[in-house]
Chain A
Protein backbone atom coordinates (compact mmCIF):
# COMPACT_ATOMS: atom_id res chain seq x y z
CA UNK A 1 0.00 0.00 0.00
CA UNK A 2 2.62 2.47 1.07
CA UNK A 3 4.79 1.99 -1.99
CA UNK A 4 1.80 2.86 -4.12
CA UNK A 5 0.98 6.02 -2.33
CA UNK A 6 4.49 7.27 -2.93
CA UNK A 7 4.21 7.50 -6.67
CA UNK A 8 0.47 8.22 -6.80
CA UNK A 9 -0.16 10.66 -9.61
CA UNK A 10 -2.50 13.46 -8.77
CA UNK A 11 -1.72 15.68 -11.72
CA UNK A 12 -4.22 15.86 -14.56
CA UNK A 13 -3.75 13.14 -17.11
CA UNK A 14 -4.22 15.38 -20.10
CA UNK A 15 -4.90 19.02 -20.67
CA UNK A 16 -7.43 17.92 -23.35
CA UNK A 17 -9.82 16.96 -20.60
CA UNK A 18 -9.66 20.44 -19.14
CA UNK A 19 -10.38 22.02 -22.50
CA UNK A 20 -13.34 19.71 -23.05
CA UNK A 21 -14.78 20.54 -19.67
CA UNK A 22 -14.44 24.21 -20.50
CA UNK A 23 -16.20 23.75 -23.84
CA UNK A 24 -19.09 21.88 -22.20
CA UNK A 25 -19.45 24.63 -19.67
CA UNK A 26 -19.60 27.32 -22.34
CA UNK A 27 -22.01 25.38 -24.52
CA UNK A 28 -24.37 24.93 -21.60
CA UNK A 29 -23.99 28.58 -20.70
CA UNK A 30 -24.76 29.60 -24.28
CA UNK A 31 -28.08 27.72 -24.18
CA UNK A 32 -29.03 29.31 -20.89
CA UNK A 33 -27.99 32.71 -22.19
CA UNK A 34 -30.03 32.25 -25.38
CA UNK A 35 -33.28 32.07 -23.44
CA UNK A 36 -32.39 35.23 -21.57
CA UNK A 37 -31.44 36.93 -24.82
CA UNK A 38 -34.72 36.01 -26.51
CA UNK A 39 -36.70 37.29 -23.53
CA UNK A 40 -34.80 40.55 -23.49
CA UNK A 41 -35.18 40.92 -27.25
CA UNK A 42 -38.94 40.41 -27.04
CA UNK A 43 -39.31 42.97 -24.30
CA UNK A 44 -37.12 45.39 -26.26
CA UNK A 45 -39.15 45.18 -29.49
CA UNK A 46 -42.43 45.33 -27.59
CA UNK A 47 -41.27 48.38 -25.70
CA UNK A 48 -39.82 50.14 -28.79
CA UNK A 49 -42.99 49.76 -30.85
CA UNK A 50 -45.15 50.60 -27.85
CA UNK A 51 -43.21 53.83 -27.45
CA UNK A 52 -43.89 54.69 -31.09
CA UNK A 53 -47.57 54.03 -30.40
CA UNK A 54 -47.52 56.44 -27.49
CA UNK A 55 -46.10 59.09 -29.83
CA UNK A 56 -49.33 58.85 -31.79
CA UNK A 57 -51.77 58.22 -28.96
CA UNK A 58 -51.38 59.91 -25.60
CA UNK A 59 -50.59 57.51 -22.77
CA UNK A 60 -53.33 59.15 -20.74
CA UNK A 61 -55.91 58.12 -23.34
CA UNK A 62 -54.62 54.54 -23.40
CA UNK A 63 -54.48 54.07 -19.66
CA UNK A 64 -57.48 56.04 -18.47
CA UNK A 65 -60.18 56.05 -21.12
CA UNK A 66 -62.91 53.45 -21.17
CA UNK A 67 -63.62 53.33 -24.85
CA UNK A 68 -61.79 51.30 -27.47
CA UNK A 69 -62.78 51.51 -31.06
CA UNK A 70 -60.79 51.19 -34.20
CA UNK A 71 -61.66 52.91 -37.44
CA UNK A 72 -59.14 52.47 -40.23
CA UNK A 73 -55.77 53.66 -39.01
CA UNK A 74 -57.13 55.57 -36.04
CA UNK A 75 -59.83 55.39 -33.39
CA UNK A 76 -60.01 55.70 -29.65
CA UNK A 77 -57.62 53.58 -27.66
CA UNK A 78 -58.76 53.39 -24.02
CA UNK A 79 -57.47 50.02 -22.85
CA UNK A 80 -59.94 49.33 -20.01
CA UNK A 81 -62.64 47.53 -21.99
CA UNK A 82 -60.04 45.03 -23.15
CA UNK A 83 -58.43 44.68 -19.72
CA UNK A 84 -61.82 44.09 -18.13
CA UNK A 85 -62.68 41.35 -20.61
CA UNK A 86 -59.30 39.72 -19.99
CA UNK A 87 -59.87 39.85 -16.24
CA UNK A 88 -63.35 38.36 -16.58
CA UNK A 89 -61.99 35.48 -18.60
CA UNK A 90 -59.13 34.92 -16.16
CA UNK A 91 -61.33 34.96 -13.08
CA UNK A 92 -64.10 32.79 -14.49
CA UNK A 93 -61.71 30.29 -16.03
CA UNK A 94 -59.86 30.09 -12.71
CA UNK A 95 -63.17 29.40 -10.99
CA UNK A 96 -63.62 26.49 -13.37
CA UNK A 97 -60.07 25.17 -13.49
CA UNK A 98 -58.71 25.62 -9.97
CA UNK A 99 -61.24 23.53 -8.03
CA UNK A 100 -61.65 20.94 -10.76
CA UNK A 101 -57.93 20.69 -11.43
CA UNK A 102 -56.99 20.37 -7.77
CA UNK A 103 -59.76 17.86 -7.11
CA UNK A 104 -58.65 15.81 -10.10
CA UNK A 105 -55.07 15.99 -8.87
CA UNK A 106 -56.08 14.80 -5.39
CA UNK A 107 -58.01 11.96 -6.93
CA UNK A 108 -55.13 10.93 -9.16
CA UNK A 109 -52.49 11.19 -6.50
CA UNK A 110 -54.37 9.91 -3.44
CA UNK A 111 -57.44 7.93 -4.40
CA UNK A 112 -56.98 6.37 -7.83
CA UNK A 113 -55.80 2.81 -8.17
CA UNK A 114 -52.84 2.25 -10.44
CA UNK A 115 -55.13 1.06 -13.18
CA UNK A 116 -57.40 4.11 -12.92
CA UNK A 117 -54.37 6.34 -13.05
CA UNK A 118 -53.05 4.62 -16.12
CA UNK A 119 -56.30 5.45 -17.90
CA UNK A 120 -56.87 8.97 -16.58
CA UNK A 121 -53.41 10.44 -16.98
CA UNK A 122 -53.19 9.82 -20.73
CA UNK A 123 -56.75 11.13 -21.07
CA UNK A 124 -55.72 14.37 -19.39
CA UNK A 125 -52.68 14.59 -21.62
CA UNK A 126 -54.89 14.27 -24.67
CA UNK A 127 -57.07 17.05 -23.31
CA UNK A 128 -53.95 19.17 -22.98
CA UNK A 129 -52.95 18.41 -26.55
CA UNK A 130 -56.17 19.52 -28.23
CA UNK A 131 -55.56 22.63 -30.38
CA UNK A 132 -57.25 25.65 -28.88
CA UNK A 133 -59.09 26.37 -32.10
CA UNK A 134 -61.05 23.17 -31.45
CA UNK A 135 -62.02 24.44 -28.00
CA UNK A 136 -63.10 27.72 -29.60
CA UNK A 137 -65.27 25.85 -32.05
CA UNK A 138 -66.80 23.72 -29.30
CA UNK A 139 -67.57 26.82 -27.26
CA UNK A 140 -69.27 28.57 -30.14
CA UNK A 141 -71.13 25.63 -31.60
CA UNK A 142 -72.01 23.53 -28.55
CA UNK A 143 -71.41 25.29 -25.26
CA UNK A 144 -73.16 28.54 -26.08
CA UNK A 145 -76.33 26.80 -27.37
CA UNK A 146 -76.21 24.49 -24.35
CA UNK A 147 -76.06 27.47 -22.01
CA UNK A 148 -79.00 29.00 -23.87
CA UNK A 149 -80.87 25.71 -23.63
CA UNK A 150 -80.61 25.67 -19.85
CA UNK A 151 -81.98 29.18 -19.72
CA UNK A 152 -78.90 31.36 -19.42
CA UNK A 153 -79.55 34.30 -21.73
CA UNK A 154 -76.15 34.46 -23.40
CA UNK A 155 -75.63 36.02 -26.80
CA UNK A 156 -74.13 34.12 -29.73
CA UNK A 157 -70.77 35.58 -28.79
CA UNK A 158 -70.30 35.84 -25.06
CA UNK A 159 -67.62 35.92 -22.42
CA UNK A 160 -69.19 33.22 -20.23
CA UNK A 161 -68.91 30.49 -22.79
CA UNK A 162 -65.39 31.55 -23.76
CA UNK A 163 -64.29 31.68 -20.11
CA UNK A 164 -65.67 28.25 -19.30
CA UNK A 165 -63.89 26.82 -22.31
CA UNK A 166 -60.61 28.49 -21.38
CA UNK A 167 -61.11 27.03 -17.90
CA UNK A 168 -61.59 23.55 -19.35
CA UNK A 169 -58.53 24.04 -21.50
CA UNK A 170 -56.30 24.77 -18.50
CA UNK A 171 -57.65 22.00 -16.21
CA UNK A 172 -55.03 19.48 -17.41
CA UNK A 173 -52.30 21.97 -16.69
CA UNK A 174 -53.50 22.56 -13.12
CA UNK A 175 -54.17 18.91 -12.46
CA UNK A 176 -51.02 17.42 -13.87
CA UNK A 177 -48.66 19.93 -12.28
CA UNK A 178 -50.52 19.75 -8.96
CA UNK A 179 -50.49 15.99 -9.12
CA UNK A 180 -46.73 15.99 -9.63
CA UNK A 181 -46.38 18.17 -6.55
CA UNK A 182 -48.67 15.93 -4.49
CA UNK A 183 -47.05 12.70 -5.62
CA UNK A 184 -43.69 13.95 -4.51
CA UNK A 185 -44.89 14.44 -0.95
CA UNK A 186 -43.10 11.65 0.93
CA UNK A 187 -45.21 8.64 1.80
CA UNK A 188 -43.95 8.72 5.37
CA UNK A 189 -46.11 11.81 5.94
CA UNK A 190 -49.22 10.01 4.75
CA UNK A 191 -48.35 7.06 6.96
CA UNK A 192 -47.99 9.41 9.90
CA UNK A 193 -51.42 10.83 9.16
CA UNK A 194 -53.13 7.48 8.80
CA UNK A 195 -51.33 6.27 11.91
CA UNK A 196 -52.94 9.16 13.82
CA UNK A 197 -56.38 7.96 12.78
CA UNK A 198 -56.96 10.40 9.95
CA UNK A 199 -59.25 9.51 7.08
CA UNK A 200 -58.10 9.57 3.49
CA UNK A 201 -59.82 12.90 2.98
CA UNK A 202 -58.14 14.36 6.07
CA UNK A 203 -54.76 13.12 4.95
CA UNK A 204 -55.28 14.53 1.46
CA UNK A 205 -56.51 17.95 2.52
CA UNK A 206 -54.65 18.38 5.81
CA UNK A 207 -51.27 16.89 4.99
CA UNK A 208 -50.70 16.32 1.29
CA UNK A 209 -52.12 19.59 -0.08
CA UNK A 210 -50.34 21.83 2.47
CA UNK A 211 -47.08 19.98 1.89
CA UNK A 212 -47.46 20.41 -1.88
CA UNK A 213 -48.86 23.92 -1.79
CA UNK A 214 -45.99 25.69 -3.47
CA UNK A 215 -46.18 23.30 -6.43
CA UNK A 216 -49.94 23.71 -6.55
CA UNK A 217 -49.59 27.49 -6.60
CA UNK A 218 -47.09 27.30 -9.43
CA UNK A 219 -49.60 25.28 -11.40
CA UNK A 220 -52.15 28.08 -10.88
CA UNK A 221 -49.66 30.70 -12.03
CA UNK A 222 -48.79 28.84 -15.18
CA UNK A 223 -52.39 27.94 -15.95
CA UNK A 224 -53.68 31.46 -15.40
CA UNK A 225 -50.88 32.95 -17.46
CA UNK A 226 -52.06 30.61 -20.16
CA UNK A 227 -55.65 31.81 -19.66
CA UNK A 228 -54.63 35.47 -19.86
CA UNK A 229 -52.70 34.84 -23.04
CA UNK A 230 -55.31 32.57 -24.63
CA UNK A 231 -56.39 33.94 -27.97
CA UNK A 232 -58.10 31.50 -30.27
CA UNK A 233 -60.94 30.48 -28.00
CA UNK A 234 -61.82 34.05 -27.14
CA UNK A 235 -61.58 35.29 -30.71
CA UNK A 236 -63.99 32.55 -31.79
CA UNK A 237 -66.42 32.50 -28.88
CA UNK A 238 -66.31 35.91 -27.24
CA UNK A 239 -66.72 38.09 -30.27
CA UNK A 240 -64.66 41.09 -31.28
CA UNK A 241 -66.64 43.94 -29.88
CA UNK A 242 -64.85 45.79 -27.07
CA UNK A 243 -67.26 46.55 -24.28
CA UNK A 244 -66.47 48.35 -21.06
CA UNK A 245 -67.25 46.48 -17.84
CA UNK A 246 -70.67 47.52 -16.61
CA UNK A 247 -70.36 47.94 -12.87
CA UNK A 248 -74.06 48.45 -12.29
CA UNK A 249 -74.82 44.94 -13.46
CA UNK A 250 -71.69 42.80 -13.14
CA UNK A 251 -73.19 39.47 -14.16
CA UNK A 252 -74.51 40.90 -17.39
CA UNK A 253 -70.96 41.40 -18.56
CA UNK A 254 -70.64 37.64 -18.84
CA UNK A 255 -73.66 37.27 -21.05
CA UNK A 256 -72.61 39.66 -23.76
CA UNK A 257 -69.70 39.67 -26.12
CA UNK A 258 -66.41 41.28 -25.28
CA UNK A 259 -62.91 41.69 -26.57
CA UNK A 260 -60.01 40.75 -24.34
CA UNK A 261 -56.53 42.10 -24.98
CA UNK A 262 -55.36 39.16 -27.04
CA UNK A 263 -58.38 39.46 -29.33
CA UNK A 264 -57.69 43.19 -29.61
CA UNK A 265 -54.21 42.37 -30.88
CA UNK A 266 -55.58 39.93 -33.43
CA UNK A 267 -57.99 42.59 -34.54
CA UNK A 268 -55.19 45.11 -34.97
CA UNK A 269 -53.08 42.79 -37.02
CA UNK A 270 -55.87 41.47 -39.22
CA UNK A 271 -57.49 44.85 -39.87
CA UNK A 272 -56.49 46.67 -43.01
CA UNK A 273 -54.63 49.30 -40.99
CA UNK A 274 -51.32 50.30 -42.51
CA UNK A 275 -48.07 49.46 -40.75
CA UNK A 276 -46.92 52.24 -38.46
CA UNK A 277 -50.43 53.52 -37.89
CA UNK A 278 -51.88 53.83 -34.39
CA UNK A 279 -54.18 50.87 -34.97
CA UNK A 280 -51.31 48.67 -36.03
CA UNK A 281 -49.02 49.80 -33.24
CA UNK A 282 -51.74 49.36 -30.61
CA UNK A 283 -50.86 45.68 -30.86
CA UNK A 284 -47.52 46.35 -29.20
CA UNK A 285 -48.94 48.55 -26.49
CA UNK A 286 -51.45 45.80 -25.69
CA UNK A 287 -48.73 43.16 -25.80
CA UNK A 288 -46.59 45.10 -23.39
CA UNK A 289 -49.53 45.63 -21.03
CA UNK A 290 -50.31 41.91 -21.12
CA UNK A 291 -46.71 41.13 -20.40
CA UNK A 292 -46.68 43.44 -17.41
CA UNK A 293 -49.89 41.92 -16.05
CA UNK A 294 -48.61 38.35 -16.39
CA UNK A 295 -45.29 39.31 -14.90
CA UNK A 296 -46.91 41.01 -11.92
CA UNK A 297 -49.10 37.98 -11.39
CA UNK A 298 -46.11 35.67 -11.34
CA UNK A 299 -44.39 37.85 -8.78
CA UNK A 300 -47.48 37.97 -6.60
CA UNK A 301 -47.98 34.23 -6.76
CA UNK A 302 -44.35 33.53 -5.98
CA UNK A 303 -44.73 35.71 -2.94
CA UNK A 304 -47.89 33.92 -1.83
CA UNK A 305 -46.37 30.50 -2.41
CA UNK A 306 -43.25 31.40 -0.46
CA UNK A 307 -45.39 32.54 2.42
CA UNK A 308 -47.61 29.55 2.72
CA UNK A 309 -45.45 26.68 1.70
CA UNK A 310 -44.77 23.91 4.17
CA UNK A 311 -41.44 22.52 3.09
CA UNK A 312 -40.98 18.85 3.73
CA UNK A 313 -37.29 18.49 3.00
Chain B
Protein backbone atom coordinates (compact mmCIF):
# COMPACT_ATOMS: atom_id res chain seq x y z
CA UNK B 1 0.00 0.00 0.00
CA UNK B 2 1.39 3.39 -0.85
CA UNK B 3 1.13 6.19 1.63
CA UNK B 4 -1.38 7.93 -0.63
CA UNK B 5 -3.73 5.02 -0.51
CA UNK B 6 -3.88 5.33 3.20
CA UNK B 7 -5.94 8.47 2.91
CA UNK B 8 -7.96 7.02 0.07
CA UNK B 9 -11.69 7.49 0.70
CA UNK B 10 -12.26 3.84 -0.16
CA UNK B 11 -10.61 2.77 3.00
CA UNK B 12 -12.86 4.83 5.23
CA UNK B 13 -13.45 2.01 7.66
CA UNK B 14 -9.73 1.64 8.13
CA UNK B 15 -9.41 5.29 8.88
CA UNK B 16 -12.05 5.04 11.52
CA UNK B 17 -10.25 2.18 13.11
CA UNK B 18 -7.08 4.22 12.98
CA UNK B 19 -8.75 7.18 14.62
CA UNK B 20 -10.13 4.92 17.28
CA UNK B 21 -6.63 3.70 17.88
CA UNK B 22 -5.29 7.22 18.29
CA UNK B 23 -8.00 8.25 20.75
CA UNK B 24 -7.46 5.18 22.76
CA UNK B 25 -3.74 5.84 22.93
CA UNK B 26 -4.62 9.10 24.60
CA UNK B 27 -6.93 7.29 27.00
CA UNK B 28 -4.16 4.93 27.74
CA UNK B 29 -2.01 7.76 28.91
CA UNK B 30 -4.76 8.92 31.23
CA UNK B 31 -5.19 5.49 32.65
CA UNK B 32 -1.48 5.25 33.16
CA UNK B 33 -1.50 8.39 35.24
CA UNK B 34 -4.37 7.27 37.41
CA UNK B 35 -4.30 3.57 38.17
CA UNK B 36 -7.41 3.67 40.36
CA UNK B 37 -9.60 4.05 37.29
CA UNK B 38 -8.66 0.56 36.24
CA UNK B 39 -11.65 -1.64 37.00
CA UNK B 40 -10.17 -4.80 35.56
CA UNK B 41 -11.10 -8.02 37.20
CA UNK B 42 -7.99 -10.02 36.79
CA UNK B 43 -5.25 -8.05 38.41
CA UNK B 44 -2.50 -10.36 37.25
CA UNK B 45 -3.21 -9.66 33.62
CA UNK B 46 -3.65 -6.10 32.63
CA UNK B 47 -5.84 -6.04 29.57
CA UNK B 48 -5.42 -3.00 27.43
CA UNK B 49 -8.99 -1.76 27.37
CA UNK B 50 -7.95 1.10 25.22
CA UNK B 51 -7.27 -0.96 22.12
CA UNK B 52 -9.85 -0.80 19.39
CA UNK B 53 -13.29 -1.08 20.94
CA UNK B 54 -14.64 -4.58 20.95
CA UNK B 55 -17.26 -5.33 18.42
CA UNK B 56 -16.04 -2.65 16.05
CA UNK B 57 -16.18 -4.18 12.62
CA UNK B 58 -12.98 -3.93 10.70
CA UNK B 59 -12.22 -5.15 7.22
CA UNK B 60 -10.71 -8.63 7.05
CA UNK B 61 -7.31 -8.82 5.35
CA UNK B 62 -6.25 -12.36 6.08
CA UNK B 63 -8.65 -15.20 6.23
CA UNK B 64 -7.98 -18.89 6.50
CA UNK B 65 -10.48 -21.56 5.60
CA UNK B 66 -10.01 -25.11 6.76
CA UNK B 67 -6.25 -24.72 6.76
CA UNK B 68 -4.24 -27.87 7.44
CA UNK B 69 -0.47 -28.05 7.49
CA UNK B 70 1.57 -31.23 7.53
CA UNK B 71 5.27 -31.74 8.02
CA UNK B 72 5.72 -35.02 6.22
CA UNK B 73 3.08 -37.09 8.00
CA UNK B 74 2.80 -35.01 11.13
CA UNK B 75 -0.10 -32.61 11.19
CA UNK B 76 0.91 -29.23 12.61
CA UNK B 77 -2.31 -27.27 12.01
CA UNK B 78 -5.81 -28.68 12.01
CA UNK B 79 -8.55 -27.05 10.05
CA UNK B 80 -7.83 -23.49 11.11
CA UNK B 81 -10.49 -20.87 10.34
CA UNK B 82 -9.63 -17.29 11.22
CA UNK B 83 -10.43 -13.76 10.05
CA UNK B 84 -7.66 -11.31 10.79
CA UNK B 85 -8.82 -7.69 10.80
CA UNK B 86 -7.02 -4.87 9.04
CA UNK B 87 -5.01 -2.33 10.97
CA UNK B 88 -5.26 -4.02 14.29
CA UNK B 89 -2.91 -6.15 16.31
CA UNK B 90 -3.79 -9.81 16.35
CA UNK B 91 -1.89 -11.89 18.89
CA UNK B 92 -1.36 -15.61 18.53
CA UNK B 93 -0.70 -17.44 21.76
CA UNK B 94 -0.44 -21.07 22.73
CA UNK B 95 1.95 -23.61 24.16
CA UNK B 96 5.22 -24.47 22.48
CA UNK B 97 4.85 -26.66 19.41
CA UNK B 98 1.18 -25.88 18.87
CA UNK B 99 1.79 -24.44 15.42
CA UNK B 100 1.94 -20.68 15.97
CA UNK B 101 5.02 -20.17 13.82
CA UNK B 102 3.67 -22.61 11.29
CA UNK B 103 0.51 -20.55 10.94
CA UNK B 104 2.48 -17.34 10.61
CA UNK B 105 4.68 -18.86 7.90
CA UNK B 106 1.57 -19.97 6.02
CA UNK B 107 0.48 -16.38 5.60
CA UNK B 108 3.51 -15.29 3.57
CA UNK B 109 4.31 -18.74 2.25
CA UNK B 110 7.61 -19.02 4.06
CA UNK B 111 6.61 -22.66 4.47
CA UNK B 112 7.53 -23.05 0.82
CA UNK B 113 11.13 -23.01 2.02
CA UNK B 114 10.55 -26.06 4.19
CA UNK B 115 10.73 -29.13 1.99
CA UNK B 116 8.66 -31.26 4.32
CA UNK B 117 5.77 -28.81 4.66
CA UNK B 118 2.46 -29.31 2.84
CA UNK B 119 -0.50 -26.96 3.08
CA UNK B 120 -4.14 -27.85 2.45
CA UNK B 121 -7.11 -25.53 2.55
CA UNK B 122 -7.25 -21.86 1.76
CA UNK B 123 -5.45 -18.83 3.02
CA UNK B 124 -6.94 -15.68 1.59
CA UNK B 125 -5.07 -12.41 1.49
CA UNK B 126 -7.35 -9.58 0.41
CA UNK B 127 -9.71 -12.25 -0.81
CA UNK B 128 -7.15 -14.06 -2.96
CA UNK B 129 -6.02 -17.55 -2.04
CA UNK B 130 -2.25 -17.26 -1.72
CA UNK B 131 -1.89 -20.94 -2.52
CA UNK B 132 -3.41 -20.51 -5.96
CA UNK B 133 -1.09 -21.52 -8.76
CA UNK B 134 -0.89 -18.01 -10.17
CA UNK B 135 0.38 -16.46 -6.93
CA UNK B 136 4.06 -15.61 -6.85
CA UNK B 137 5.30 -15.95 -3.27
CA UNK B 138 7.92 -13.29 -3.94
CA UNK B 139 5.21 -10.74 -4.74
CA UNK B 140 3.17 -11.88 -1.77
CA UNK B 141 6.10 -11.43 0.60
CA UNK B 142 6.56 -7.89 -0.62
CA UNK B 143 3.10 -7.08 0.71
CA UNK B 144 3.57 -9.00 3.93
CA UNK B 145 6.69 -8.15 5.90
CA UNK B 146 8.12 -10.42 8.54
CA UNK B 147 10.12 -9.99 11.72
CA UNK B 148 11.69 -13.13 13.09
CA UNK B 149 12.08 -14.47 16.59
CA UNK B 150 15.82 -13.93 16.74
CA UNK B 151 17.14 -10.68 15.31
CA UNK B 152 18.73 -11.43 11.94
CA UNK B 153 20.13 -8.23 10.44
CA UNK B 154 22.18 -8.69 7.30
CA UNK B 155 25.95 -8.37 7.69
CA UNK B 156 25.69 -5.01 5.96
CA UNK B 157 25.57 -1.43 7.12
CA UNK B 158 22.55 -0.21 9.05
CA UNK B 159 21.58 1.89 6.05
CA UNK B 160 21.85 -1.01 3.63
CA UNK B 161 19.82 -3.21 5.94
CA UNK B 162 16.93 -0.78 5.81
CA UNK B 163 17.19 -0.23 2.06
CA UNK B 164 17.45 -3.94 1.23
CA UNK B 165 13.73 -4.37 0.70
CA UNK B 166 13.55 -1.16 -1.32
CA UNK B 167 16.35 -2.43 -3.56
CA UNK B 168 14.93 -5.85 -4.27
CA UNK B 169 11.44 -4.47 -4.69
CA UNK B 170 12.62 -1.70 -6.99
CA UNK B 171 10.98 1.02 -4.91
CA UNK B 172 12.02 4.48 -6.04
CA UNK B 173 12.08 7.50 -3.85
CA UNK B 174 14.43 9.29 -1.56
CA UNK B 175 16.10 6.42 0.25
CA UNK B 176 17.67 8.71 2.85
CA UNK B 177 14.24 9.92 3.80
CA UNK B 178 12.69 6.46 3.85
CA UNK B 179 15.56 5.13 5.97
CA UNK B 180 15.18 7.93 8.48
CA UNK B 181 11.43 7.48 8.60
CA UNK B 182 11.61 3.71 9.07
CA UNK B 183 14.27 4.01 11.76
CA UNK B 184 12.28 6.69 13.55
CA UNK B 185 9.20 4.55 13.56
CA UNK B 186 11.23 1.64 14.85
CA UNK B 187 12.41 3.93 17.69
CA UNK B 188 16.00 3.45 16.66
CA UNK B 189 16.86 6.62 14.77
CA UNK B 190 18.26 8.60 17.69
CA UNK B 191 20.53 5.75 18.68
CA UNK B 192 22.00 5.10 15.24
CA UNK B 193 21.71 8.28 13.22
CA UNK B 194 25.45 8.93 13.47
CA UNK B 195 26.53 5.42 12.55
CA UNK B 196 24.35 4.50 9.57
CA UNK B 197 27.43 3.17 7.78
CA UNK B 198 28.49 0.80 10.52
CA UNK B 199 27.45 -2.82 10.48
CA UNK B 200 24.01 -3.79 11.69
CA UNK B 201 25.72 -6.53 13.65
CA UNK B 202 27.50 -4.02 15.85
CA UNK B 203 24.18 -3.16 17.52
CA UNK B 204 22.85 -4.73 20.70
CA UNK B 205 20.24 -7.48 20.44
CA UNK B 206 17.36 -5.12 21.14
CA UNK B 207 18.67 -2.58 18.65
CA UNK B 208 19.14 -5.31 16.07
CA UNK B 209 15.54 -6.37 16.50
CA UNK B 210 14.36 -2.79 16.04
CA UNK B 211 16.58 -2.60 12.96
CA UNK B 212 14.83 -5.71 11.64
CA UNK B 213 11.51 -4.01 12.27
CA UNK B 214 12.70 -0.91 10.41
CA UNK B 215 13.85 -3.14 7.58
CA UNK B 216 10.43 -4.79 7.46
CA UNK B 217 8.44 -1.54 7.42
CA UNK B 218 10.70 0.43 5.07
CA UNK B 219 9.14 -0.95 1.84
CA UNK B 220 5.74 -0.20 3.35
CA UNK B 221 4.05 -3.62 3.34
CA UNK B 222 0.35 -4.06 4.13
CA UNK B 223 0.81 -6.60 6.87
CA UNK B 224 3.61 -7.26 9.33
CA UNK B 225 4.09 -10.70 10.81
CA UNK B 226 6.13 -10.98 13.98
CA UNK B 227 7.26 -14.26 15.47
CA UNK B 228 8.04 -13.62 19.11
CA UNK B 229 9.95 -10.46 18.27
CA UNK B 230 10.77 -9.72 21.90
CA UNK B 231 11.63 -13.18 23.13
CA UNK B 232 15.35 -12.51 23.26
CA UNK B 233 15.10 -9.03 24.70
CA UNK B 234 15.31 -7.43 28.11
CA UNK B 235 12.28 -5.64 29.59
CA UNK B 236 13.30 -2.17 28.43
CA UNK B 237 13.85 -3.22 24.85
CA UNK B 238 10.66 -5.27 25.02
CA UNK B 239 8.58 -2.33 26.11
CA UNK B 240 10.06 -0.20 23.33
CA UNK B 241 9.05 -2.83 20.85
CA UNK B 242 5.59 -3.12 22.34
CA UNK B 243 5.06 0.62 22.03
CA UNK B 244 6.23 0.41 18.49
CA UNK B 245 3.81 -2.39 17.68
CA UNK B 246 0.89 -0.38 19.00
CA UNK B 247 1.95 2.54 16.82
CA UNK B 248 2.38 0.33 13.81
CA UNK B 249 -1.18 -0.84 14.10
CA UNK B 250 -2.32 2.62 13.12
CA UNK B 251 -1.17 1.94 9.60
CA UNK B 252 -0.44 -1.73 9.35
CA UNK B 253 -2.09 -4.99 10.13
CA UNK B 254 0.10 -6.70 12.69
CA UNK B 255 0.02 -10.39 13.51
CA UNK B 256 2.25 -11.27 16.42
CA UNK B 257 3.14 -14.59 17.98
CA UNK B 258 4.01 -14.33 21.63
CA UNK B 259 4.59 -16.57 24.60
CA UNK B 260 3.97 -13.75 26.95
CA UNK B 261 0.31 -13.46 28.01
CA UNK B 262 0.76 -10.02 29.51
CA UNK B 263 2.25 -8.88 26.28
CA UNK B 264 -0.63 -10.26 24.25
CA UNK B 265 -3.09 -8.64 26.62
CA UNK B 266 -1.30 -5.31 26.51
CA UNK B 267 -0.81 -4.83 22.84
CA UNK B 268 -3.37 -6.81 20.91
CA UNK B 269 -6.92 -6.15 19.81
CA UNK B 270 -7.70 -9.72 18.93
CA UNK B 271 -6.20 -12.89 20.32
CA UNK B 272 -6.08 -16.33 18.80
CA UNK B 273 -5.37 -19.23 21.12
CA UNK B 274 -3.87 -22.33 19.56
CA UNK B 275 -3.55 -25.41 21.70
CA UNK B 276 -1.49 -28.54 21.35
CA UNK B 277 -2.25 -30.45 18.20
CA UNK B 278 -2.45 -27.37 16.03
CA UNK B 279 -6.02 -26.51 16.76
CA UNK B 280 -7.29 -22.94 16.88
CA UNK B 281 -9.42 -23.21 19.99
CA UNK B 282 -10.64 -19.69 20.43
CA UNK B 283 -10.33 -16.44 18.53
CA UNK B 284 -11.94 -13.31 19.85
CA UNK B 285 -11.38 -9.80 21.14
CA UNK B 286 -8.44 -9.78 23.47
CA UNK B 287 -10.50 -8.56 26.45
CA UNK B 288 -12.92 -11.39 25.96
CA UNK B 289 -10.19 -14.00 25.78
CA UNK B 290 -8.45 -12.80 28.90
CA UNK B 291 -11.51 -12.00 30.99
CA UNK B 292 -14.07 -14.49 29.99
CA UNK B 293 -12.92 -17.13 27.56
CA UNK B 294 -15.50 -19.52 26.25
CA UNK B 295 -13.41 -22.65 26.58
CA UNK B 296 -12.16 -24.01 29.85
CA UNK B 297 -9.01 -25.19 28.10
CA UNK B 298 -8.24 -21.62 27.08
CA UNK B 299 -8.86 -20.37 30.58
CA UNK B 300 -6.61 -23.08 31.97
CA UNK B 301 -3.89 -22.15 29.55
CA UNK B 302 -4.12 -18.44 30.26
CA UNK B 303 -4.14 -18.83 33.98
CA UNK B 304 -1.23 -21.21 33.80
CA UNK B 305 -3.06 -24.38 34.79
CA UNK B 306 -2.36 -25.80 31.40
CA UNK B 307 -0.01 -28.81 31.18
Interface size band for B: 20 to 34
Interface string of A178-201 (1 = CB under 8 A from B): 000000001011111111111100
Query: How many residues of A are counted as interface, with CB atoms below 8 angstroms from the partner's CB atoms?
Result: 22
Complex CA gap A189/B161 in Å reads 11
Complex CA gap A211/B199 in Å reads 12
Does B168 have its Cβ within 8 Å of any Cβ on chain A? Answer: yes
Contact (A197, B165) CB under 8 Å given A210-B155, A311-B201, A312-B155: yes
Additional A-B contacts beyond A197-B138, A206-B164 (4; CB < 8 A): A186-B152, A188-B152, A191-B152, A211-B155
Does A272 have its Cβ within 8 Å of any Cβ on chain B? Answer: no
Does B216 have its Cβ within 8 Å of any Cβ on chain A? Answer: yes
Interface string of A18-37 (1 = CB under 8 A from B): 00000000000000000000
B contacts, CB < 8 Å to A: 108, 110, 113, 115, 138-142, 145-146, 148, 150, 152-156, 164-165, 167-169, 199, 201, 212, 215-216, 219
Number of inter-chain CB pairs below 8 Å: 74
B8 smallest CB distance to A (angstroms): 23
Which residues of A are found within 8 Å of B155, using beta-carbon distances? 189, 210-211, 310-312
Chain A: which residue is nearest B112 at the CB level? A194
Per DSSP, are chain A's interface residues mostly helix, strand or loop, or mixed? helix
18 pairs, CB–CB < 8 Å, chain A vs chain B: A114-B115, A188-B150, A191-B152, A192-B154, A193-B168, A194-B141, A195-B108, A195-B148, A196-B219, A197-B219, A198-B164, A199-B138, A202-B168, A206-B164, A206-B167, A210-B155, A211-B155, A311-B199
**A192 x B152 contact (CB < 8 A):** yes
Q: Which of B145, B150, B167 contacts A195 (CB 8 A)?
A: B145
Which residues of A are found within 8 Å of B154, using beta-carbon distances? 189, 192-193, 207, 211, 310
Chain A: which residue is nearest B161 at the CB level? A192
**B110 x A191 contact (CB < 8 A):** yes
Those of A228-263 within 8 Å (CB) of chain B: none
Those of A101-117 within 8 Å (CB) of chain B: 114
Chain A: which residue is nearest B169 at the CB level? A197
Chain A: which residue is nearest B225 at the CB level? A195
